[in-house]
Structure 1
Amino acid sequence: MSKGVAGREPSRRGVLRGAVSGAVGAGIAVAVGAGGAAEAATGDGHLSVAVLLYDGFTALDAVGPFEVLCRVPGVRVTMVAREAGPVTTDTGELSLVAERAMRDVHRADVLLVPGGGDRGVMAMMDDTGVHEWIRRIHRRTVWTTSVCTGSLILGAAGLLRGLPATTYWAARPYLAEVGATYTPGRYVEAGKIITAAGVSAGIDMGLHLAARLSDTEVAKAMQLAVEYDPDPPYDTGSPEKADARTEALALKLLADSAV
């Protein structure tokens, strides 16, 4: 990258500002949707997305959709947990900060429940207080969503009975235990409930939600904004493509990294 004034490299923000200025100068217009018929729950006209964090959640399950949705015009994403403050992921090596405690959040246009390691998800599936909060928020959401094994938490709260849903590949059999029917797909929409498959599938769902909360043009632009153009070096991204040895190693790597 060429140096800027006084020998300093231009900042990323400066580069992006320059790119936007160039686009506007070239006569490129961006169409921004009005968020459809969703009623804003923030009190300031923004559509609210509440991401539920809990001890042992998986980072990308929450951060993937966040990275897409936080930049959609008219949308505000808030991290929520039982108590405000740092919440540790399944590896114990990273924390995200919950801005608000569950007791202080009474409504959201979108609820997003990420998945996590066995310890975290099992604790959440047994937590009746969390289930009550999820059901209460769900009653007034426009969309109630999950990523990965977050669908098992929605199911434990009683929201998936009789519905098609997806989850992490190794957890598919457990959907039946919460009354859901496993359905293949990067994400599955059933009424106002959307469940995404494992971890990275949350980005796909986030883009789908971006279109629902705004419009297709904004969603397409967000896909480019985060340069989401998967071209992985290996073709083992689903159990249908991987052999038994790779499956076993994948599960071992997850188990060994969990705390």
Structure 2
Amino acid sequence: MNDSTKPDPGRRRFLARAATAGGALFLAGCDRLSRSDGMVSLFDSASALTQTAQRALTSRHDLAREYPASEIAATFRANGTTNPQNSDYQALAANGFRDWRLSVEGLVELPRSFSLDELKRMSSRTQITRHDCVEGWSCIGQWKGAVLGDLLAQVRPTAKARYVVFHCADNTYGGPDKYYESLDLIEAMHPQTLLAYELNGADLPIANGAPIRLRAERQLGYKMAKYVMRLELVESFEDIGRGNGGYWEDRGYNWWAGI
């Protein structure tokens, strides 16, 4: 499922909305309130206000905090799906991802695909950042990857493109739905938004999302899709999943997860 442990759906919905809204009710952990239509509406409204305020008060280029190497965790926590079991992914992993390609399509002028070696030859960035999960844990790691904005410049988003959708290899909890996530172009073009292929100086482990995972350092952990296979630039989410912009968003999370 990418980055979350398996919880009660009502509790996850509450935690996600509370975390993105920044409300004190997050600390109370009250499932009953999370199932209230009034509270759901309140959290949604607060999230929209948080997004508007953050965009108004901060530059689109403001950086998330970066940390010294001394604070890197000895082991970066891996949870949720840690080894997708579908046959296509397993075949790619068995071959060291030499046959893996990242397809970039949708509302772009120059659709194309990239091998892992091609991504590694692109302009890269290394950053030490903190991953914050809505389940209440954080972990600091060093990431290296291709700068997503530079990749997007190569495929030339059209004027109608508003979002980048990240389609992934893992079937969450063994169900029929593959994980997916999305960012608007402001976050996608942010200098710290990476398609990461290294963690703590080594190739990204399968448990943490190999061959690449998204790092969007101004967002909560559920936005940082693992096992990314395809990018799709779209004008809306209407025809993707249940139309809310992400796997967990389709199940009650807020699409905006800025921190």
Same fold (TM over 0.5): no
TM-score range, shorter chain: under 0.3
> Which has a greater percent of strand?
2
> Which has a greater percent of helix?
1
Question: Scaled by the length of structure 1, what TM-score is found?
Answer: 0.23
Over alpha carbons, which structure has the higher Rg? 1
Question: Scaled by the length of structure 2, what TM-score is found?
Answer: 0.23
Q: Which has the higher contact order (CA 8 A, sep 6+)?
A: 2
